Amino acid sequence: MTGALTWARLSYRQQKWELLLVTLGVVGVVAAMLYFVSTMDGMQAAFPECLSNMRAQMESPVGPPLACQAILEEWYEHQGWTSTLMTAARGAPLGLGVMLGAPLVAREIDGRTAQLAWSLSRSRIGWLARRIAFMVIFVLALLAIVAMAGELLAAAIEPDRNLAKDFFRFGERGLPIVARGAGALMLGVLVGAMIGRVLPAVLVSVIVIGIAFAGLSLGQEAWNRGEATIQRLYDDAGQPVGFDYASMDVEFGLLRPDGSYLGYNEAFERGLLPEMYQDEQGRIYASAADMEAGRVFGHEARLVIEAERYPELVLRDSVLWVLLGSAALGAAAVVVARRRPV
């Protein structure tokens, strides 16, 4: 236990300023999130006639009551700020990976202390494990706080929705934040171990972690596309189908008369829909003449992942990032074991 505390103290001292500044940043973001949670919950409690079931009010023919205009304007202003905070929550794991992961090994090599540190330790792998352990605990603890604050804030923004089965602000609340942080941290450590210089490692890890994030996002988008179901926006009688806001939108497009789905992007790229006309029943026509003749090109539809699958996709995203992080950690161990300490 004493040995573990010594290592933790040493790890803290070596990255004291980064840890303090990062903690300050996280505290600031979380404090702001909790402020808006409190404010928006208070507004909900004080003005239920204006703020309950807002979507239905907006979609009604008469709109919200005139007396609610000022309340709604204030609510939407708060929503603007919360959107910024949720975006910060999405970026926090990547930022922590860059700032705390990349210098972990790079600083030792850059500062010419790796030779001594690796000699004093029984094995380089043991040294790496002890150095990383403190940082992993620290980062995961910080991100867990951000994740929980994100959940509270999302619930305050959309109090009428069951967010346990809702893709609202996916990736900006809950488990994915923590898992992505773990993966990004390990990627940063790997980059730092390979490059061995602090500033270049930080800069390259920005690119590497960014590419990893983009790659996993695009990969999961393609995966989602393969598993998505088609949801029509209007039924056969031309009546609007209740829009399921909780589902994840994969793509908007058309349900063709033959039952096949055609995305808008594909329709435009292939020149299948040079013009687009739509009637009030959601039927799409390729020209004014087709509209007059009743030659329907398709019905408005979208590809979605149902809201019930939210826990499954959260787990999938988290597992992918943890696997990526584990692979990066393994690679970092190999690099540290084999590289020269200068």
Partner 1 sequence: MTWARLAFRLQRSSIGFAALVCLGLAALGAWLALSLPSMLARCDVPNPMDQCGTVYLFGSPMGDPALLFYLGIGVAMYAVPVVLGAPVLPSEVERRTAMIAWPLARSRMKWLAWRAGSVLVIGVVLVAFMALAAEALADAQDGELGFAHHGARGISLVTRAALMLVVAVVIGAVIGKLLPSLLVGGALALGLSVVLQVLPPYGVVSTELTAAEMSGYPFTTGHAYRAPDGVPIGEDEANEISQAAYAEYSPDFPPDSVLPYSVSYGIAGSRYFEVLARESAVLVGATIAAGAAAAFVVSRRRPE
Q: How far is the CB of 68 from partner 1 (least distance, A)?
A: 11
Beta strands in 118-237 (DSSP E): 229-232
Residues of the shown chain interacting with partner 1 in the complex, contacts defined by CB under 8 A: 15, 17-18, 21-22, 25, 66, 69, 99, 103, 197-200, 202-203, 264, 267-268, 273-276
CB of 22 or CB of 186, closer to partner 1: 22
CB of 223 or CB of 252, closer to partner 1: 252
Q: How far is the CB of 22 from partner 1 (least distance, A)?
A: 7
CB of 17 or CB of 259, closer to partner 1: 17
CB of 164 or CB of 222, closer to partner 1: 222
140 in Cβ contact with 185 (< 8 Å): no
**Buried/exposed code over 69-79 (b: 16+ C-beta within 10 A; e: otherwise):** eebbeebeebe
Angstrom distance (rounded) from CA 60 to CA 277: 25
Tokens of 98: 């860059």
Angstrom distance (rounded) from CA 88 to CA 192: 24
Most distant pair of Cα atoms in the chain: their distance? 85
Angstrom distance (rounded) from CA 182 to CA 184: 6
Tokens of 201: 């490692």
CB of 42 or CB of 210, closer to partner 1: 210
Q: How far is the CB of 200 from partner 1 (least distance, A)?
A: 4
Q: How far is the CB of 280 from partner 1 (least distance, A)?
A: 15
Q: How far is the CB of 52 from partner 1 (least distance, A)?
A: 21
Element (H, E) at 145: helix 124-157
Q: How far is the CB of 265 from partner 1 (least distance, A)?
A: 8
Looking from the CA of 45 toward its CB, the CA atoms found within 13 Å total: 7
Angstrom distance (rounded) from CA 203 to CA 255: 46
CB of 161 or CB of 197, closer to partner 1: 197
In DSSP terms, which residues pair with 229 in a beta bridge?
304
